Amino acid sequence: MYLKRKIDDVLNNWHLQEDRLPLVIKGCRQVGKTESIRHFAASHYESFIEINFSEDPKYKSIIEDGYSARDIIKNISLLNPSFKFIEGKTLIFFDELQVFPEIATSLKFFKQDGRFDVICSGSLLGINYQRIESNSVGYKQDIIMRPLDFEEFLWAKGYDDEVVEDLYSHMIEGKALSKVFNDTFYSLFMDFTILGGMPAVVRQYIEKDTFENSLALQHALINDFKEDIQKYVQGMDKTRILNIFKHIPVQLSKEQKKFQISKVENGARYRDYRGGIEWLENAGIVNICYCLNSLELPLNGNYDENALKLYLADTGLLVSLLDEEAQDDLRANRNLNVYKGALYENVVADALVKSGYNLFYYKRQNPSIEEDFFLRTANELVPLEVKASNDKARSLSKLIQSDNYPEIKFGIKLVKGNIGVDSNILTFPHFCAFLLKRLLKDKRLYNLIKI
């Protein structure tokens, strides 16, 4: 069963480019990279050459005569004469690039040769990415692939684009959803939160129509991540990265969700753990949310790199790390509140990152102001508050009403409730998060607010 993915359109559009560059597709392990590339190749190429450097390390010898396309193709043919290199109709796929980053040097020469298309893919590519970047500038196109988002999950459940368009039309008009629509989508959203977006987990759930064995699959993925840390990280950093990873669920469960290095190790300093946090981000395992220094545009560069929250890049994997009591309550009763709102924040952070956003939050003691996330339009700074139920958003109201923040004209509140608009606060159900970027680019948005 193939799961339709958004990268399908990315690959199709890449193939339409006459002067296309070799692709490098990055992402955490088991996110569906190889499956999507195979699916794409089957409908676009007469010949597909797949080389997996992890499963078949003998292919590391293909660069012994140099990095030219001609020499590499000659050596591949020596190792496997059944491969057919048809000019203009062949895709060469180098998989598990992190095992053999040296092959990326050949991308320049494949581009200059021009006879064959090339895609490289790797898990945990951030480990070796610096080694290939300087040799490939201008001769490759980078793509990040992440786990399924909620829209892709809807596709897997059989919903088409018409349903999503119906949801969006209600959002842009500020019109409440029908009870049957809202209840149905909340049920789907709960399932998605528990499962996450790892393809193996979603596929089994779709095929069996049950959560049976999903937890075991999630635990296996977590163990794979830990094994990769053991395999690819050297020295003291290995212990530090494992400690950071272990403490993410614990610290998210606290009222103060800022990630505190002092809770990981007594006397620990951020500068000692900085590299470990960035490693986990580059590996596609965590999403980092930085605290803004001030509430003004631009966002990038306007933050404290030592004040941050860490979210797991897949909420289903976070759920799998909860204690047994929380697991039972969540799976049996769909009660996300058992983890003090951390799951709501994590799944929204996940949706924002998959939409292409960087994550920022803000916290100030006097006067007390705290906002979970910040987005932007061309001219406005947009605070986003995530509520477990549908409580009042006091900080959000303060920011909108204050003259101290001229770039904040309206805000967004995600709740367990329905769509509504009041005092320049746009309220949406949590499951609408994947559509927020589209909403903020839509000029009709200003029909809902008063500026």
> Phi and psi at residue 278, in whole multiples of 5°?
-65, -35
CA distance 109 to 51: 18
- Where does 189-328 show beta strands of DSSP type E? 286-292, 303-312
- Residue 80 — φ and ψ, nearest 5°? -145, 90
In 3D space, the residue among 12, 8, 5 whose CA is nearest the CA of residue 153 turns out to be: 5
Q: How many CB atoms lie within 10 A of CB 361?
A: 23
Write down the pLDDT at residue 12. Answer: 98
CB atoms within 10 A of CB 31: 28
Q: Which residues of the chain have pLDDT under 50?
A: none
Do the Cβ atoms of 176 and 125 come closer than 8 Å?
no
Residue showing tokens 């890449």: 14
The answer to whether the CB of 103 falls within 8 A of the CB of 143 is no
Give residue 110's identity as a one-letter amino acid code: F
Q: Is 414:433 a contact under the CB 8 Å cutoff? A: yes
Look at residues 256, 311, 307, 257 and name the one whose alpha carbon lies nearest to residue 280.
311
Which among 33, 32, 59 is positioned nearest to 23, based on CA atoms? Answer: 33
Burial class (CB in 10 A: 0-12, 13-18, 19+), 315: buried
Look up tokens 């951390």; give the residue: 342
Q: Order the strands of the 359-364 sheet from edge to edge.
A: 303-312, 286-292, 359-364, 369-371
- Give pLDDT, residue 269: 85
3-state DSSP percent of the chain in helix, strand and coil, to 5: 50, 15, 35
Give CA angle at 273 (321, 283), nearest 5°. 55
pLDDT given at position 340: 61
Furthest-apart CA atoms within the chain: distance in Å: 72
Pairing of strands 141-144, 359-364: unpaired
For 114, other C-beta atoms within 10 Å of its C-beta total 11
Q: Beta-carbon neighbour count of residue 227 at 10 Å?
A: 11
Residue 224's Cβ-count burial label (10 Å; 0-12, 13-18, 19+) is middle
Apex 47 CA angle, 46 and 51, nearest 5: 155
| Cα distance between residue 235 and residue 325, in whole Å | 36
Please check whether residue 202 is in contact with residue 153, taking contact to mean a CB–CB distance below 8 angstroms: yes
Cα–Cα nearest to 320, from 152, 185, 200: 200
If we measure between CA atoms, which residue out of 127, 402, 166 comes closest to residue 276? 127
Q: Could you give the 3-state DSSP secondary structure of residue 363?
A: strand
* Token code pair at residue 171: 């959002």
Alpha-carbon dihedral sign for residues 7, 226, 278, 386: positive
Contact call for residues 52 and 95 (beta carbons, < 8 A): yes
Residue-wise pLDDT for 271-297, tens only, equals: 888 889 988 998 889 999 999 999 999
